[in-house]
A = this chain, B = another copy of it.
Amino acid sequence: MTRSADCRELKAMAGRLGALSHPARIAILQHLAGVEACCCKEVVQQLDLAQSTVSQHLKVLVDAGLVRHTPESRRSRYEVDRKELAALGASLNGLLVTCCTAPEAASAD
């Protein structure tokens, strides 16, 4: 039941990790974590990237479900989804534990 249905999970996990596999996005995430919430411009001032580029990166993070987006009146409100982030951490941790366990315990000898 595990091995076959894992395909979806693999893709999901890969997708989320993909969202984290860019230094700018990690930096954005770190900045968002440091402040309660902030707008796009604030992130632009932190990183040395064009506003459109930052907007794209934010979109990637939002699409991956790691950041929440609340379009407010004038400025957009971005904030880390700490719950989702923790879930990803747990998920990856599970994978790593599996992969760090010696095969003796897992294989049928």
Contact = CB atoms under 8 A, between A and B. Distances in A.
A43 to B, nearest CB: 14
Given A85-B99, A86-B96, A96-B88, A10 B33 contact: no
Interface of A: 6-7, 10-11, 13-15, 17-18, 20-23, 25-27, 29-30, 32-36, 80, 82, 85-86, 88-89, 92-93, 95-96, 98-103, 106-107
30 contacts: A6-B30, A7-B23, A10-B23, A10-B26, A10-B27, A13-B26, A14-B22, A14-B25, A14-B26, A17-B17, A17-B21, A20-B92, A26-B95, A29-B95, A30-B95, A32-B99, A33-B99, A33-B100, A33-B101, A33-B106, A34-B106, A35-B103, A82-B100, A85-B96, A85-B99, A86-B96, A86-B100, A89-B93, A92-B92, A93-B93
